[in-house]
Amino acid sequence: MGKAGVAALVQFIKEKHVRPGGDLVFRPSRSGTGNATQSRFGVGPSGPIPARKVKHMPARFITHDELDTRLHVLAARPDRFIEGAKKLAAELDAKGLHLEITDPQSWRGSSPAGHEPTRITVDSQLRTEIDNIEIMNRGEELKLARRIEFARIRLDLALAEAGLSGTDLAGGVPHVPSGFFGGVNANCTLPPKVCRRWMEWHSLRLEMVERNLYLALINVERYAHTTVGRTDLIQEGAASLFRAVDGFDWRRGLLFRTYAVHWLNQAFRSYLYNFGSTVRVPVYLQKATKHIGAAIERLGDPDASAGEISRLSGLPERLVTSARSAVRKTRSLDAPIGDPEDSSSLRDILTLRNDNGPYSTSLEDVSLEAGLEEALGKLSDRERYVIGLRFGIGGEPEHTLAQVAAKLGVSLERVRQIQVRAISKMRTPHLRKVADPFLN
């Protein structure tokens, strides 16, 4: 395909909307170019498109607007919504209709054109992309929540029909967003109908999550004083939004954001408990530290004794002592200092200008020699003499078992026994680290 054909194909994809089943349905571009006739016969603004690249099949789907109308009628009786949704799902299955899958770009805005900085951090880029996502109003959120529940009901029915369960979805379905368009993804190993129902359900969940990602940016500021990276917390919050979507009940009349904040804070705290320090501290000690900190603040004495803190906080004195000794702050030498855009780190401040680094061969030689002397000191004179001759320690060349036996006037087997006994003594847990480089 020539350059003109490639440009035409790219423009054709941009101006159409891919709907379930592989149908390419015309959607006017933002510039207003193109027409339905061109779309139908595979002709783009830059020229004709080869017919083999255009797959046109009879549309067999139900749009979101049509589905919302049917679900709105069922929602008039919330207590019977599930029963009515199952009947509607059976009706759509009988007609062979799929749910429409919306292109994520329809709610993802683009950054305004202008001068972009030559250097941009991951955090600022993430914030820019999230800020460009359109936020739903209460009505749109309610409709989307009903679609998600209906899509889940259809997925459960498809699983039951195929003799599968929800656990079978873990490794059998794709998680690449590009697989949502143009039919069933080739990476899906489950029955085609199950794969299709899963893609319909997951694409709706993805829309709810992405259009509420701003909640993660807002609530993460409460934990800005911690040593954990902000992008790591935002990632945990984004994952928790999927769990919030699965547990959200639109019948309660609450906004999704009200329910999602609980899951976000729970995810943030869980991440801090598990990864807030280099050496993981048990959760019960971290919770005790909060009470200890509050007690110290009330006492006004950071050097208060464990007994005073115990009486004020109500915690056992032994727990206070354990918590204060276990919780220690650490800081990476490569962590940035001050402005995140500044490349300076703590290592740059502590490193000497003419320093070649912390490694020194002289230090290694001294430590290994000292360790070897310590290991040999545990042996008897005869054992130390045999080891010295066998491995060439102390200026002596390496000797064979026969040579050592000749010097001692004993049999070769006796030298071997002395060597084995000496090595077993040196391979104690305390001495193995320094002796292993010489013995292996």
3 state SS for the chain: CCHHHHHHHHHHHHCEEEEHHHEEEECCCCCCCCCHHHHHCCEECCEECCHHHCCCCCCCEECHHHHHHHHHHHCCCHHHHHHHHHHHHHHHHHHCCEECCCCHHHCECCCCCCCCCCCCCHHHHHHHHHHCECCCCHHHHHHHHHHHHHHHHHHHHHHHHHCCCHHHHCCCCCCCHHHHCCCCCCCCCCCHHHHHHHHHHHHHHHHHHHCCCHHHHHHHHHHCCCCCCHHHHHHHHHHHHHHHHHHCCHHHCCCHHHHHHHHHHHHHHHHHHHHCCCCCCCHHHHHHHHHHHHHHHHHCCCCCCHHHHHHHHCCCHHHHHHHHHHCCCCCCCCCECCCCCCCCEHHHHHCCCCCCCCCCHHHHHHHHHHHHHHHHCCCCHHHHHHHHHHHCCCCCCCCCHHHHHHHHCCCHHHHHHHHHHHHHHHCCCCCHHHHHHHHC
Structure tokens at 82: 């599930």
Q: Are 23 and 46 in contact (CB under 8 A)?
A: no
Distance CA(412)–CA(406), nearest Å, equals: 8
Query: How distant is the alpha carbon of residue 80 from its chain centre?
Result: 38
pLDDT of 10: 36
pLDDT of 85: 94
Q: Are 306 and 319 in contact (CB under 8 A)?
A: no
Cβ count near 267 (within 10 Å): 22
Q: Are 49 and 40 in contact (CB under 8 A)?
A: no
CATH of region 366-439, choose from 1.20.140.10, 3.30.450.20, 3.40.50.920, 1.10.10.10: 1.10.10.10
Q: Please enumerate in sequence order all residues whose Cβ is within 8 A of that of 328, keeping only pairs 6 or more positions apart, or say none.
A: 277, 279
Structure tokens at 224: 């800005």
Q: Are 13 and 45 in contact (CB under 8 A)?
A: no
Q: How far is the CA of 322 from the CAs of 205, 278, 313, in angstroms?
A: 44, 18, 15
* Tens digits of pLDDT across the chain (440 residues): 444 443 443 343 344 443 434 333 333 333 334 343 333 333 344 444 444 443 444 548 899 999 999 999 999 999 999 999 999 999 999 998 999 888 888 888 776 655 555 667 788 888 888 889 999 999 999 999 999 999 999 999 999 998 888 888 877 776 554 444 444 455 778 888 988 899 999 999 999 999 999 999 999 988 888 778 888 899 999 999 999 999 999 999 889 999 999 999 999 988 888 887 777 778 788 888 888 888 888 888 888 888 888 888 888 988 888 888 877 666 777 777 766 566 677 777 776 555 565 555 554 444 566 777 777 787 888 888 898 888 888 777 888 888 889 988 899 899 999 988 888 887 766 666 655 555 55
Q: Are 136 and 211 in contact (CB under 8 A)?
A: yes
Instruction: Please report, for the chain, the start and end positions of each structural domain, with discontinuous segments joined by +.
Output: 3-59, 64-108+122-211, 216-275, 279-358, 366-439
Distance CA(18)–CA(180), nearest Å, equals: 9
pLDDT of 351: 63
Q: Are 11 and 187 in contact (CB under 8 A)?
A: no
